[in-house]
Amino acid sequence: MTALELHITGMTCDHCAHTVEGALNSLPQVKARVSFKDALAEVEVPIGLSPGRLVKAVQAKGYGASLIEGASGSKTTRDSASLRVAIIGSGSAAFAAAIRAAEEGTRVTLIEGADMIGGTCVNVGCVPSKILIRSAHIAHLMGEHPFDGIANVMPKVDRAKLVAQQQGRVDELRQAKYQGIMDANPNINLLKGRARFQDSRTLIVTFADGSEKAVSADRFLIATGAAAAVPPVPGLKDAPYWTSTEALIARHLPEHLIVLGGSVVGLEIGQAFRRLGSQVTVVELMQRLLPREDEAIGNGLRQILEREGVHILTGAQTKSVRHAPNTFEVTLECETLTGDALLVAAGRAPNTAELNLAAAGVKTEKNGAIAVDDHLRTSAEFIYAAGDCTNQPQFVYVAAASGTRAAINMLGGDAALNLSTMPVVVFTDPQVATVGLTEAQAKGLNIAAESRTLALDNVPRALANFDTRGFIKLVAEKGTGRLLGAQVLAAEGGEIIQTAALALRARMTIHDLSDQLFPYLTMVEGLKLAAQTFTKDVKQLSCCAG
């Protein structure tokens, strides 16, 4: 047996200590005593058991743990409180890492080159886009709702007032969730400047006045995010096009908005502007919308958007762009479009070009994304990366989870990022929501799979809402019935999909899912009904048949 000591964080009472003690003692041949007062776990472990398993067991209960330097058998060389961590960026991944590291007493330096802290999500991404989408949804319901006895009215839209309200909420959240947290934490220090690596242990930070400062650290996290990608279309770089950043704060509604890109950003913003009163044309190079999703999703959403008046061109390559005063001319292979605003929504590219990563030995992929493993380690020792600048999926919740796990690992822990049950939501109306494998992906992995698709006119809540647009599709393994994936096109799809994600994580079968109690009337009940379609004709069931 080997004796180890762990510093435990996050405990607030003796009950917490008992919980941590139980988690440690549940491991084979481990004997632990945990003191809330001392924030300490004294542990006897069998030779060969990885200390990382102890840390992971504590983290699974919601607490932090790190090996204490000098304890017998400890493989760490530095106590967390003596480590210096430098984080490039101040968005979701950066702050998640900074908060976790600071909780351990680590001295953290955040380095941010932009004018505002907080990164993409709160400033120019998730938060303002969802406010835009919600306001557009309200406007749409005023003019298009399905209920007799309530007059449809065309709303008067004051885009400038909407933007002012939107940005007010953005400012509030930035202050509360970023600036305020940093100000209250003495272990987090902010440097406003642009960072680049001098070598694998040193950053050079350039400030606005041109002066420079060398910053050394024991661990580094790169969390610089991504920016809108601009395709090499002739004439585009010289035109005053919008990216999502400019579209979200535009204080006027264009008469005709042309959107280059038929994926997430283009469809979310395009539909919103259509509902606020603009004519909208979406141009997509691939043969269908949302080309990474199940084909039925893209086809179904296209029909819905076209019914709302969005003009959609797929399989259309943009040949050139020309801008004249108040006019954009977008030349395609077979026609030329004319509009007064142009939104480029062709994906996002990692912000890594200015970091001098080669000097630090950090490898990137062809598009500049930093290659990381499931522990967020780069190719360089002591350098980690998280968020949209990596080869991980570009979602804020992935970034935050990555930042937290990177911090744990930087301080000697063992936390892996598991994306096998990662839900995805596109905030169109109806929403697109997916998790797990499509039927085609399952078959590509040589998994015998089958699927069932439930139209929403079989879901009582959708009927009560007079909104039966879309479907719920479940994919299961043949024979066992194990749930493999779910694809949803439905109002509140983003709320529905998390239940499917939990079922997937629990390795439930479609039989397990169909046997669960779902509240009536809810949209998520559609998952139960979709599961029942594997063995029953749900049209022959009563409304809330179990």
In angstroms, the Cα distances linking 284 to 225, 267, 346, 542 are 25, 10, 9, 43
Phi, psi of 316 (to 5 degrees): -115, 120
Count of CB atoms situated within 10 Å of the CB of 231: 13
Active site residue 334: no
The helix (H) or strand (E) run that includes residue 393 is none
- Please identify which of the residues 126, 142, 286, 397 carries the catalytic annotation: 126
Taking alpha carbons only, the member of 35, 34, 77, 78 closest to residue 54 is: 34
What lies within 8 Å, CB to CB, of 346 at 6+ separation is 228, 229, 230, 231, 260, 261
- Please identify which of the residues 1, 13, 142, 422 carries the catalytic annotation: 13
- Please identify which of the residues 1, 116, 121, 520 carries the catalytic annotation: 121
Distance of CA 289 to the CA centre of its chain: 20
- State the distance between the two ends of the chain, measured CA to CA, in whole angstroms: 53
Active site residue 520: no
In the numeric block, the tokens 């879901």 are attached to: 459
% helix, strand, coil for the chain, step of 5: 35, 25, 40
The three state secondary structure string of 111-172 is EECCCCCCHHHHHHCHHHHHHHHHHHHHHHHHHHCCCCCCCCCCCCCCHHHHHHHHHHHHHH
Count of CB atoms situated within 10 Å of the CB of 47: 8
Task: Please give the full DSSP string across 349-379, using - where no structure is assigned.
Answer: EES-TTS-HHHHT--B-TTSPBP--TT-B-S
3-state secondary structure of 84: strand
Count of CB atoms situated within 10 Å of the CB of 522: 17
**Distance between CA atoms of residues 139 and 124, nearest Å:** 22
The helix (H) or strand (E) run that includes residue 314 is strand 311-314
The answer to whether 256 and 250 are in contact (CB under 8 A) is no
Active site residue 389: no
**Distance between CA atoms of residues 387 and 391, nearest Å:** 9
**Distance between CA atoms of residues 352 and 436, nearest Å:** 30
- Please identify which of the residues 1, 63, 334, 410 carries the catalytic annotation: 63
Burial state string for 72-98 with b = 16 or more CB within 10 A and e = fewer than 16: ebbebeebbeebbbbbbbbbbbbbbbb
In the numeric block, the tokens 């885009």 are attached to: 159
Token representation of residue 175? 């202050």
Active site residue 16: yes
Cross-strand bridge partners of residue 390:
370
In the numeric block, the tokens 């704060």 are attached to: 249
- Please identify which of the residues 1, 154, 520, 544 carries the catalytic annotation: 544
Catalytic residues, by residue number, are 11, 13, 16, 63, 121, 126, 543-544
